[in-house]
Amino acid sequence: MSVDHGTTPLIEVEHLKIFFPIKEGILVEREVARVHAVNDVTLSIGEGETLGLVGESGCGKTTMSRAIMRLIDATDGRIRFRGNDVTSAGRRELEPLRRELQMVFQDPFASLNPRKRVGQIIGMPLRLHGTERGDVEEKVRELLARVGLQPEHVNRYPHEFSGGQRQRIGVARALALEPRLIVLDEPVSALDVSVQAQIINLLDDLQDDFRLTYLFVAHDLSVVRHVSDRIAVMYLGKLMEVSRAEELYTKPIHPYTSALLSAIPIPDPEENRRRERLAPREGGMPRSGIPLLGGEPPNPISPPPGCVFHPRCPRASQICRAVEPPLVGYPNGHLAACHHPMNVSPEEIKAAEKHNSSPRSSGDELPSVLGANGSCSAG
């Protein structure tokens, strides 16, 4: 149990590390380097909760969600499902677990077998897990109706549907076995804006009806806001910040979160003009004190020492280059791994404590009032 959110955790991830070896050699392959995809992450998801997992491409969010699904083996660390350690469970042990963990994929064009009928696609998990042949079709029709498709579509092929409809088929397939947890890997990124909202609203309704737990993976902060109870921000295999959803938007503590927020365009010309008058355009639009981020995420083969975000961080100082910041607990279960946090008062910094979900490699240095300029320095 890492974060206090008042419910029993369904999934607990402890100090999870997933490294992919890079091998070279002609006769004998030797490991020459490792991609540090997930680098010591501790998280938990409560029953019925939606955790948003956000980060730029290559931050390890998909790798982590696949490890939770047990599709990728962990290099180190523990994954617990309802308190049972499933990190190294074998095929046979995993079978009952597979019922409870389901996934909806990003690309609705690639994740449905083009040569199977919708009925076969949704019916397959049912059959595999022992539903009587005669009952399958009725169950499939029910599921289709539940996700907003016509039950008569059971005999159609995926190509006869639009992107949004296909995503509904993917959701129906994930629902078939009445799972506890559904991992949603960017489920709306490939869809048009007007259809995105339909799918998000559907997921919202299904969660209420079936008391589902969601892990919602996304690459930016705009979509997850509507579905998440809590949001975790990842960067280069590490957790930067974990917070209740609303607080993350009003009070981002980590400069990276703040930068992600200010990179989202504001659909309001007057607001943009006003902001430009305040701060003539240089390095972008300061919304919460963080200007436009320069550069790109570094290579996860050799992550930078200290805080992995320091090469791009406008607040970075000497300590950031040397010491990896621990995850520090602030009020409301808000965690952030930063030596120079934003939007926090000196009192909050004084009361802050190193959280037990911090990476093992992190230092014990807590953010100091001096280094942080008190509360948010620019507004």
Partner 1 sequence: MTAADPAGPVATDDPLLTVDELRVSFATEEGVVQAVDGVSFNLGAGEVLAVVGESGCGKSVTAMSLMGLTRSPNARFEGTAHYKGTELIEASEDQLRRVRGAEIAMIFQDPMTSLNPVQRIGDQIIEQIQEHESLPDRQARERTAELLERVGIPRARERIDNYPFEFSGGMRQRVMIALALSCNPSVLIADEPTTALDVTIQAQILQGIRELREQTGAAVIMVTHDLGVVADIADRIAVMYAGRIVEEGTLDQIFYDPQHPYTWGLLGSITRVDRPRRERLPAIAGLPPSLADRPHGCHFRPRCPLEFAECMKVPPLESRVAGQSQHRDRCWLSVGEKRARREVAPGEIGLAAKNVTAA
- Residues 39-68: x/- map of binding to partner 1 (CB under 8 A)? -----------------xx-----------
Q: Which of the 8 DSSP states describes residue 365?
A: P
Question: Quick check: 265 binds partner 1 (CB under 8 A)?
Answer: yes
**Closer by beta carbon to partner 1, 66 or else 287:** 287
Nearest distance, CB of residue 148 and partner 1, angstroms: 4
For residue 253, which of 328, 358, 303, 304 has the smallest C-alpha distance? 328
- Among the listed ranges 72-80, 116-124, 192-200, 349-357, the one in contact with partner 1 (CB under 8 A) is 192-200
Q: Cα separation of 236 and 57, whole Å? A: 9
Q: CB under 8 Å to 231, separation ≥6 — which residues?
A: 51, 52, 53, 54, 221, 224, 225, 242, 243, 244, 245, 248
Q: Does 266 help bind partner 1 (rule: CB under 8 A)?
A: yes
By CB under 8 A, name the one of 174, 206, 217, 260 that touches partner 1: 260
Does residue 198 interact with partner 1 by CB under 8 A?
Answer: yes
Residue 193 or 278: the one with the smaller Cβ distance to partner 1 is: 193
Q: Taking the CA of residue 262 as centre, how many other CA atoms within 13 Å lie in the half-sphere pointing to its CB? A: 22
Select from 149, 155, 153 the least CA-distant residue to 175: 149
Is position 150 an interface residue for partner 1 (rule: CB under 8 A)? Answer: yes
Q: Does 107 bind partner 1 (CB under 8 A)?
A: no
- For partner 1, which stretch binds (CB under 8 A), given 66-74, 178-186, 283-291, 360-368? 283-291
Q: Is 165 in the site for partner 1 (CB under 8 A)?
A: yes
- In the complex, least distance from residue 133 CB atom to partner 1, rounded to whole angstroms: 29
Cα 101 from Cα 78, distance rounded (Å):
17
CB 165 within 8 Å of CB 149: yes
Integer Cα distance of 298 and 373 in angstroms: 27
Q: Is 6 in the site for partner 1 (CB under 8 A)?
A: no
Helices (H), 129-238: 133-146, 163-175, 193-210, 221-224
Contacting residues toward partner 1, per CB under 8 A: 56-57, 148-150, 162-165, 168, 192-202, 204, 219-223, 225-226, 245-246, 249, 259-272, 281, 284-285, 287, 292-294, 296
